[in-house]
Chains A and B, each alone.
Chain A
Amino acid sequence: MLRFVLWRMLAMVTVMFAISVLVFLIFFATPGVDPAARIAGRNADQQTLKAVRHDFGLDQPMPVQYALLMKKLFITRDLESYVNRGAKVVPQVEEAAPVTLSLVIGASLIWVATSVLMGVLAAVFRGSIVDTGLMIIGLIGISMPVFWLGEVVNLVSQSRFHDTFLFSWVPPLGYTPLTESPLGWFKSLLLPWLTLAVLYAGIYARILRSSMVEAQEQDYVRTAYAKGLTERRVLVRHSLRMSLIAYFSLFGLDFGALVGGAALLTEVVFGLHGVGKLTYDSLQNFDLPLIMATVMYAAFFVIVANALIDLLYSWLDPRVRVV
C-alpha cells in the first residue's frame, strides 16, 4: 500500500508540473501573441506595459519567466492584477474557494445518494417501466447545458412561481456563508445543488444498474444465492458492494470535471461568488493574472482530488495497487 501511495503522489506531482508548464506556455509563448499586452489588459499605456515586462521578467529566458510566475502564484502569492490595479489575486481565489467547495460537495452528496437509490431500484425492477424511465432521465440529464437548466430554475423559483408555497422560501440569488447562518447557507445552495446533481444522477444510476446486473451473473453471487440468502440481501451485500467500486472510480473522474466545468457555470447563473464566478468576471474584463490564478488553483485542486479518490479506491479494491 505504501508503495502505491508514494507512486500515486509522484504521479500527481508530475502531472501538476506538466499542467503548470502547459498553462505557462499558453499564456506566455503562444506564437503571435504579446504576453505583456494581454496581461496589461485592454488599452494599456506604455508605462503599464513596461511594468508588466519588468514584473514578469519578460526580457529573461523562458525557464526564468516560468519560475517567476510560479513563485508569484504559489510561494509569495503576490500576483497582482493590472486591470484592477494593485489587487492581489491569490487572496481573492482563497476567499472564493469555500463557496465552490460548498457547492460541489453538497451537489455530489445529493448526486451519489440519488443515483445509488435509483440504480438499485432499476436493478431490482430491471426490464420494467422504472428501468426504462431511468434510462431516459439519465440521457436527458447529460444532454442539457447546465447553465441553461440553472436559468430555467431561476425563472421558475425567482420569478414565475416565486409567490407560490413551493418556492416562497427561495432566497434572492447569492451566497450566505455557513458561519453566518447555517439555514441561510442551506437555502441559498439547495437549488444550485439540485441543478448540478440532475446532470449526473441519472447517468450514474444507469452505470450502477448495469454493473449490478452484470454482477448478478458472477460466481460469487450464484454462491450467495445457493447459500439460501434472500434476493435483497444478495443485491445489497454482494452485487451493490462490488458495483460501487467501479462507480467510485468514475466518480473520481467526474468530480474533477464538475469543479472545472459545470460548477463554474452554475456559480455564474446562481450568482454564487465562488471560483467559477471569479473566473467569469475576470473573463469579462480580460484580467489575465486573475484567470491564471483561478485556472491554476482549480486545476491543482482537481488533480489532488483525483489522487485522493484513487487512493481511497485502492484501499477499497486492493487489486488496483499493482504498480
Chain B
Amino acid sequence: MAMLGLLLVIVLLSLAAPLYAQHVAHTDPFRSNLDGTTVVDGKTVPVMQEQSEGLGLGVTPIGPTWDPEHYFLGADNQGRDVAARLLYGGRNSLLIGVSAALLTCLFGTAIGLTAGFFGGRVDGVLSRLLDVVWAFPVYLFAICLSTVLVTQSLGVGPLQLEAGSPALPIFIIGIVYIPYVGRSVRGEVLSLRKREFVEAAIGLGASSLRLLWSDILPNVVTTVIVLFPLMIALSMLTEAALSFLSIGVQPPDASWGTIILDGQGLLYTRPWVAIAPGIAIAVTVLALNVLGDGVRDALDPRARHKVGR
C-alpha cells in the first residue's frame, strides 16, 4: 500500500509539471536560457556562471539552490531548470513505461491466446516467432528498431508516427517485450484447455469465440495483471537506457533517461543533474517491483514461496 501511495505521489508530481514550471519556477524548461539570471539569497546572479577556478574554460551552470522558486536543482548546460525538466521528464518516462507495458500485455495476450487455443500450425508459427524475438537480446533489438525509426516518421497503414514523438519509443519497447507476456499466456492457455470446465463448455457446444472469451480469457487475466507492474518497470528502465543512448526520447523533450545523458558532461561539476533523475527512476521502478510482488501474492497465494521472474 505504501508503494501504491508513493507511485501516486510520483504520478501526481509529474502531472503537475506545467503548474510548477509556470507558477512556481517561472521558467520554460524546453528553451535554452544561456543569458538568463536568477535570484540566490536575494541577489541576482547569472544562470551560467563564469568559471573562476580550474582551467577557467567557459561557463558552468548554476548548482542546486534548494529554493523551489529559483533553480531548485540547478541548471543544465543549456541553462534550463533541472527540477522542472525532471517533472516533465517524469511525464514522458511514465507515459512511455505504462503505454509500452499496455501494448506488450495486449499483444502478448492476443498472441498467446491465439497460439495456445488454436494450436497446430498457428501455434507453430506464432511460437517460433516469439522464440526468435525472445532469443534476440532486448536492447540489441531495440537499438536496431530505433536506429531505423527514431529520426524518421513512420507510416504503417492509417497509423502515422511523427519523428521524435514519444509514440516511437512506446512502439519499440512495446514490441521487444511481447514474448515475455506471450509465452506465459500461451503456457497458461495450454494447461487451461485440458481443465474440466473447458471440456464441459466444449461438451455444451460452446463456440471457439465463446470458449476464448468467457472461459479462457478470465483465467488468463490474472497472469497478465501480475505481469503488468513488472512490465512497466522493465519498460521504464529500457526507455531510460535507450534515451541515454540518444535513441529514445528526442531533444528538446525530456525524459529521466535524457536528463541523465544531459548530466553526464556535468557529472563532476554539477552531479545533481544526473543523480536526481536516476533516483527518480530507481524509486519508481522499485515501487513497481514491490507492487508487482504484492499483486502476485494477493492473486496467487501459492506463488508466495516461489520467487521467480
Contacts and interface: CB of A to CB of B under 8 A. Distances in A.
A158 interface: yes
A210 B244 contact: no
B278 A152 contact: yes
Interface in A201-221: 203, 206-207, 209-210, 213-214
Interface string A248-285: 00100000110111001100100000000001100110
B100 interface: no
Q: Among B132, B140, B271, B274, which residue has the most Cβ atoms of chain A within 10 A?
A: B140
Interface string B45-73: 00000000000000000000000000000
A256 B233 contact: no
Interface stretch (B25-33, B107-115, B148-156, B214-222): B148-156
Given A30-B149, A148-B278, A207-B308, A291 B143 contact: yes
Contacts of B154: 30-33
B200 interface: no
A33 B137 contact: no
Contacts of B149: 30, 33
B2 interface: no
B305 A295 contact: no
A147 interface: yes
B286 A140 contact: yes
A140 B286 CA distance: 6
Contacts of A142: 285, 289
Interface in B215-269: 233, 237, 240-241, 244-247, 257, 260, 263-264, 267-268
Contact of A38 (B148, B245, B285): B148
Chain B contact surface mostly: helix
Interface residues of A, number: 56
B307 interface: yes
Contact of A143 (B244, B245, B282): B282
B278 A145 contact: yes
B152 A19 contact: no
Interface string B144-165: 1101110011111000000000
Interface in A110-163: 139-140, 142-145, 147-149, 151-152, 154-155, 158-159
A286 interface: yes
B127 to A, nearest CB: 12
7 contacts: A18-B128, A18-B132, A140-B282, A145-B282, A149-B278, A207-B308, A257-B138
Interface of B: 128, 131-133, 135-140, 143-145, 147-149, 152-156, 233, 237, 240-241, 244-247, 257, 260, 263-264, 267-268, 271, 274-275, 277-278, 281-282, 285-286, 289-290, 305-309
